[in-house]
Amino acid sequence: MEHAHWMKRCLQLASNGAGLVAPNPMVGAVLVQGDRILSEGWHRVYGGPHAEVNCLQAWGDQPIPADAIMYVSLEPCSHTGLTPPCAELLIARGVRTVVMGCTDPDPRVAGRGIARLRDAGITVITDVLQDECRWVNRRFITSIEQQRPYIILKWARSSDGFLDRHPRGERGVQRISCYATDVLAHRWRSEEQAILVGSRTVLNDNPRLDVRHVAGHSPLRVVLDRQGITPAASHVYDGSTPTLLITGNTRELPDVGQALIPAGAEPLDFLLAELYRRKVRSLLVEGGGELLGRFISRNLWDEAREIAGEPLFLQGTPAPHLLRQPHRTLASGGDRIHLYTRSSVPETAWPW
């Protein structure tokens, strides 16, 4: 039986929830009879029905055929959270066979969903396209297993390896990438829960750190400003999108959340712990050379996305350099995008 074929469809459906369901995982479900899809669904929005619920609602109230198989990319939940447990729904609806992609590492589930289904006499087949299923939910899984957000480093460099051109003439972003790449970068932003820069980037570039070129939610803007030197009139403090200031000195900034770094605490450790406490599963780091360098030197990253543009700067801030080869390189207009990870990735990774 082509379990992998239908699991790929589950993963396609799950990806529809990118940027919409966090801090929950992205999940897709397909109800199949023979070679025919009876119904399908995915987790559409945080707090809303899970994939299995949407799939069965799409099928309706009619009985589930005895030979039908429910495919789901993540272990059905067995606890009551914002919604009832999906394992109990599958049992109540009379599903006889469930094929799942990977187990859920959440301690409230973590094999309990499988056990509940099997105890009810349901045939459960596990670990179909496990690597691909874990990749789709790498943000959620990393957060649960490592108790920190999934960290993506991103920077653009000139053709001769600089993040910016010196001397700087004025405050503002210096363009490196082409428009097509900028659109893609905004899609990246829309897929993550938070985006981080340091105080120097706010001072030099005055970035907005929101999503404008594509439809999607803007991430939580996070500013690491230990000394409180960023201007209050900066775009990141304009109230248009939620902002969290990580600082050593409380500021008078209306509509800006703040977290005070305790005396003697390591700023990055405090920042990551604070985001984890807030259930932020993923963090896109768009800071300058100093901030990126701190993450790299401490091996605090899971992915890196380097945009190599066409401009020639001659002098400026040197771009970070990773002592490894990229897993993949993509063309975007005149730019090249080098994609790095610290772990193995399936062939289906980065489907932009």
Measured distance CA(149)–CA(197) in Å, rounded: 15
The answer to whether 145 is a known catalytic residue is no
Structure tokens given for 117: 């289904």
Half-sphere exposure of 75 (CA within 13 A, CB side): 25
Name the nearest CA neighbour of 55 among 32, 88, 26, 75.
Answer: 32
What does the CA dihedral 49, 50, 54, 60 come to, rounded to 10 degrees? -80
From the list 2, 40, 52, 290, the catalytic residue is: 52
216 Cβ contact partners less than 8 Å away, ≥ 6 residues apart: 19, 186, 187, 189, 190, 191
Other residues' Cβ atoms within 10 Å of the Cβ of residue 259? 18
Backbone angles phi, psi at 194, to 5 degrees: -145, 155
- Residue 199 identity (one-letter amino acid): S
| Whole-angstrom distance, CA of residue 75 vs CA of residue 54 | 15
Query: What are the structure tokens assigned to 8, written together?
Result: 């790929």
Strand order in the sheet with 150-157: 257-260, 243-247, 220-225, 194-198, 282-285, 150-157, 303-308, 335-341, 328-332
Active-site annotation, residues: 52
